[in-house]
Amino acid sequence: MSDFHKKNITELSALLKNGEASSVQLTEHFIARIKQYDDKLNSFITVTEDEAITAAKAADEKIKTGNAGPLTGIPIAHKDIFCTQGVKTSCGSKMLDNFISPYDATVVTKLKQAGIVMLGKTNMDEFAMGSSNETSYYGAVKNPWDTGTVPGGSSGGSASAVAARLAPAATGTDTGGSIRQPAALCGITGIKPTYGRISRYGMIAFASSLDQAGPMGQSANDCALLLNAMAGFDEKDSTCIDKEVPDYTADLEKPLKGLRIGLPKEYFEKGLDADVEKVIRAALDEYKKLGAELIDIELPNSGLSVPVYYVVAPAECSANLSRFDGVRYGYRCEAPKDLLDMYTRSRGEGFGSEVKRRIMVGTYALSSGYYDAYYLKAQQLRHVISDDFKKAFEKVDVIMGPTAPSTAFKIGEKSDDPVSMYLSDIYTIAVNLAGLPGMSIPAGFANGKPVGLQITGNYFEEGRLLNVAHQYQSCTDWHRAIPEDFS
C-alpha cells in the first residue's frame, strides 16, 4: 500500500504537480483508510466517496492544464458544522440529523475554488458544545494515540482524523479552544485566526461573538496554505473584517532571532500537570536556541476567563438555538397535540443534555432582573481580559504556554462533572474572549500522549504565529509522529 498518508499537504502537492500521483489515487487512498480505521475512531459522520472521486477527476484535469494551485486535488475533511450543499450537515445533533444543506458555507466555497477534494464530514460535540467530543448524537470520538481516551472537543473528529492520517487536513471551529485543545490532545497543528478573519457564513452558530473557523493539519506550513484559501472578506457575514489577506507562507522561513516570547505566570501555576509542564519547558528551551528571548509576564485576569465565557457563550447559544423549533427544518416530534407541544417536545427530544444545560444557563443570564448582574458584568470583564493582552503585547511579540492542563483524559472520566470538563479549556478561552489569533503545535509526549504548545499573537498576526511554529517544526519532528496502530 502507498504511503501517501505519511506525507503532508506540501509533499502531496509536489507529487501531484510532478505527475507522480493523481488526485484520484490520493482520494482513493484516504477513503480506503477511512473504511479500514474509522470504526475504531468514529471520527466521521458522513463519507462522501462518490462526490470526492468526481472532484478528484476534475482536479486531475485542471492539473494537466498547468493552472493548478497548491491545494488543487488535495483531499481534506470538513467539520460537520459547515453547511455543504446536498450533503447532510448535522452539527453532531439529532436536531439536524435529517438536514441536507441547500448551500455551501463560505469556507467550503473558498476551499472548493482552491481545488480541494472533500472526503466527508467529521464528528463533533453537539452544536460545538463540549471539550471532549463525547456529546455528539453519533457517539464519542476516540483519540488515535489511545482509543480509551478523548480527542478533545469540539473539533475532535477533525483532530482524530488528521492524527490517524485518515485525511491530510481538516477544517475546525474554535469558540473557546475547540481547534487548539483537540489539536493538542491529538498531536496535530491547528490555528484559530483573529475573530473576523474568516467568514462565518454557513457555519452553524453557537456563540456568534466567539466562533471562528480555522485549519487543522500536520504542520504550520499546511495550515498556512489552507489559511490562504480560507481567509478573506465576505459581505454575507457582517462580522467578517474587510482586510487584505497576506500570503501566510511568505514569512515561514524568517529567523526568530530577537523574538520576544511572553510566559504568563498564571499558565504555570496550580492545575498544570507536572509532566505536561516539563514538555512545554523543553519546547521553550528550543526556542531559546533559535534566538528567542523568554520574558515573564502576567495576565492577572485570565482566571476569570472560564466564568466569563460560561455566561457569554451560553447566552449567545440560547439566542442562536431558538431557531430550532420543529417548524422550519430539522427534527420534529411525532404527533404533536398543539404548537406549544411541538416546540417543547421537538426541542426536548432533539437536543442533548449539554446543549440543554447551556441553553438554560444562557436563558437565565439574559432574563429580566439578571441581565445586568450576569451578562452585562461578563461583557465588562471581557474587556478587562482583553486589556491584559494589549498590555502584554507592548512588551512581547507572542505569548506561549500549554494548550491544555493535561494530556487526553479517559472517555467518561469527566462526563458527570461539567465544571471539571469546562476547566479543560482554561488556557484557551481568554484568546477567544479577546478575539486574538492562537494556535497549538505538537511539542512532545507525556506518558505516551501528545502535548500541545499554545502560541498566541496580536490581532491579525497569524503570519507571525505560523512563522514561529514553522521554525520550531523545522528543527523538531513531533508533528511527524503517527500513532502506531494507524501508521
Domain assignment of residue 203, given as a range? 4-259+396-486
pLDDT digits (tens, 9 = 90+) for 436-476: 999 999 999 999 999 999 999 999 999 999 999 999 999 99
pLDDT category at 415 given cuts 50, 70, 90 is confident
Query: Is residue 421 very low, low, confident or very high in pLDDT (cuts 50, 70, 90)?
Result: confident
Per the domain annotation, does 80 fall within a domain? yes
The verdict on residue 268 lying in a domain is no
pLDDT for 422 equals 82
Active site residue 64: no
Q: How far is CA 82 from CA 28, 135, 171, 299, in A?
A: 23, 18, 9, 34
Please compute the mean of the pLDDT values over residues 174-196 and round it to a whole number: 98
Q: Which of 13, 23, 43, 79 is catalytic?
A: 79
Per-residue pLDDT at 181 exceeds 80? yes
Residue 279 lies in a domain: no
Encode pLDDT of 91-100 as tens digits.
999 999 999 9
> Is residue 373 assigned to a domain?
no
CA distances from 427 to 230, 368, 432 (A): 25, 32, 10
154 catalytic per annotation:
yes
What value does the mean pLDDT take over residues 233-262?
Answer: 97
* Cβ–Cβ under 8 Å, residues 325 and 332: no
Q: Is residue 454 part of a domain?
A: yes
- What is the band of 424 on the pLDDT scale with cuts at 50, 70, 90? confident
Global pTM value: 0.97
* Catalytic site residue from 22, 178, 199, 302: 178
The verdict on residue 237 lying in a domain is yes
In a domain, 362, yes or no: no
Find the catalytic residue in 22, 90, 154, 158: 154
Taking residues 254-273, what's their average pLDDT? 96
Query: What is the rounded average pLDDT of the residues 390-407?
Result: 98
Task: Tell me the per-residue pLDDT of 335-368, one tens digit each, with 9 for 90 and over.
Answer: 999 999 999 999 999 999 999 999 999 999 999 8
In a domain, 414, yes or no: yes
pLDDT tens across 50-69, in order?
Answer: 999 999 999 999 999 998 99
Nearest residue to 76 (alpha-carbon basis) of 181, 185, 173, 165: 165
Q: Average model confidence (pLDDT) for the chain?
A: 96
Q: Report residue 245's pLDDT band, with 50, 70 and 90 as the boundaries.
A: very high
How many domains are there within the chain?
A: 1
Q: Is the pLDDT of residue 88 over 80?
A: yes
The reported pLDDT for the residue numbered 1 is 53
Name the pLDDT band for 270 (thresholds 50, 70, 90): confident
pLDDT in tens, 286-323: 999 999 999 999 999 999 999 999 999 999 999 999 99
Active-site annotation holds for 79: yes
Q: What is the mean pLDDT of residues 194-205?
A: 98
Question: What integer pLDDT is reported at residue 105 of this predicted model?
Answer: 98
Write out pLDDT tens, residues 109-152: 999 999 999 999 999 999 999 999 999 999 999 999 999 999 99
Q: Are the C-beta atoms of 152 and 185 separated by less than 8 Å? A: yes
Structure-model confidence comparison of residues 12 and 415, the more confident one: 12
Query: For the domain that residue 419 is a member of, what is the CATH number?
Result: 3.90.1300.10
